[in-house]
Amino acid sequence: MPKRIVIIGAHAAAVDAASAARKTDRTAEITLLTTEKHAGYSRCGLPFVLGGHIPRFEDLIVFPPAFYKMMKLKLLFETTATNIDTEAKIVEIQDKTGKQDKLPYDSLIIATGAFPFVPPIKGRDKQGVYVVRTIEDGQKIDKAIKEGAKSAVVIGGGLIGLEVAIALVERGLKTTVVELIPQVLPAMLDTDMAKLVQEMLEQKGLRIIVGKSVDEILGGEKVTGVSVGGEEIPADLVVVTTGVRANTELAKKAGIATGVGGALKANARLETNVPSIYAIGDCAESINLVTGRPALVQLGTVAVRHGKVAGINAAGGYALFSGVLGSGVTKLFDTEIGATGLNEFFAKRNGINTVTGAISSKTRADYYPGALPIRIKLVVEKESQRIIGGQIIGGEEVAQRINALSFAIQKHMTIRELAKADTCYAPPVSETWEPMVLAAEIALRKLR
């Protein structure tokens, strides 16, 4: 009898899990289910459709119907998993018409993702208040803009919040970002680096308020503005981007253990405390490669790596998930921002003494036309002299430098070794001295 694999979810982690399972077992019966009308699309691309860089929301669908047919995957749209019977190995489901059914499984993969967290702000239920998680969310905001919205407030200054705010500016809306913590990108950058980003954004016409909370969303039935520290800021629409929470209620009800941030605990094979049940993506925790401790890193790159490992194991193979560094990158207007590993704040919170090395340089030879500024900051563990983190802000080539630092951290490279790195040079593409090497030399001098 073919192995029965059920996957609750049908986005990045889930589809990669299904693909890996199919490549491991050509005969398995694989079923995916999603509560949404669309599956297999990039949530990360939503702000860039709003900003007009990508023509249509439908263009974000990475896996078309032909993919599921080719891979012999059964996909159920607008279907909710209502219960998991771990003894009988059955998932109870209900479709949009209310029809109920039962899916037996040999292996179950939980990829239920996360849901937007909306703080208990007075007025949050008004018409014109949005979140950004699904294609439908994006379409609602796009419709509001097309119907004449002229001003907006984005609550939350993290990655998605800033990407959405820039999209709104690009669409012609007067936009304000309000962030409770005293800096933008608080989970990604240290204060000194965040300040550079904020200054750049303000120069581009985005108003940013940090260190204050939204007291109330104003208006009658429809939003007309927000109150921040006694100031009333007009807004035709409000977008709440204050993070997401792991969607784990179904799993917890089935007796699956949770850990950091309420996410599902899983071992290196991504199997939970319940045999034959795996947890992946935004609803599952990982191990941080620097601290060795559980962490919740809700990134698309983590989701697809989770999916591959769990899919292989669910289909009878053997694979291990090594851990995460939380490497991330974005592009805000013309500036790229990236980070990997621990910043100073999180290193201190984990009891790690650090030194840093930072430098401002250029992406090409200074005399070559088109050379763009770049700022690099390295975080080094004092005792071992190992590189444990890096942050980069620049006009180009940020992603690949972040990748290089990620490799260095994973291979336990010391700052002394990076300072001696043999790097390439040509005036159109790089400086004689690679900026990461110069930053390493600065950190090394501090250690001496």
Exposure of 200 by Cβ count < 10 A (0-12 exposed, 13-18 middle, 19+ buried)?
Answer: middle
3-state SS of 391-443 is EEEECCCHHHHHHHHHHHHHCCCEHHHHHCCCCCCCCCCCCCCCHHHHHHHHH
Q: Which of 63, 76, 71 is nearest to 26 (CA)?
A: 71
Tell me, what DSSP letter sits at residue 288? B
In angstroms, what is the C-alpha Rg of the chain?
Answer: 23
Residue 368 tokens read as 């070559």
Q: What separation in angstroms does the CA of 276 have from each of 8, 263, 283?
A: 14, 18, 17
User: Which pairs from 69-73 meet CB under 8 Å and 24+ separation?
Assistant: 71/18, 71/19, 71/22, 71/30, 72/22, 72/30, 73/18, 73/22, 73/30, 73/31, 73/32
Residues recognised as catalytic: 44
Q: Are strands 207-210 and 174-179 parallel, antiparallel or unpaired?
A: parallel
Cα angle 321, 324, 329; round to 5: 135
Q: Which of 2, 40, 31 is nearest to 90 (CA)?
A: 31
CA atoms of 171 and 167, how far apart (whole Å) = 6
Q: What separation in angstroms does the CA of 406 have from each of 258, 327, 397, 411, 412?
A: 28, 7, 15, 9, 10
Residues across the chain: 448
Tell me, what DSSP letter sits at residue 236? S
DSSP string spanning 117-158?
Answer: -----BTTTSBTEE--SSHHHHHHHHHHHHTT--EEEEE--S
Q: What separation in angstroms does the CA of 360 have from each of 147, 167, 316, 351, 376?
A: 44, 28, 50, 28, 7
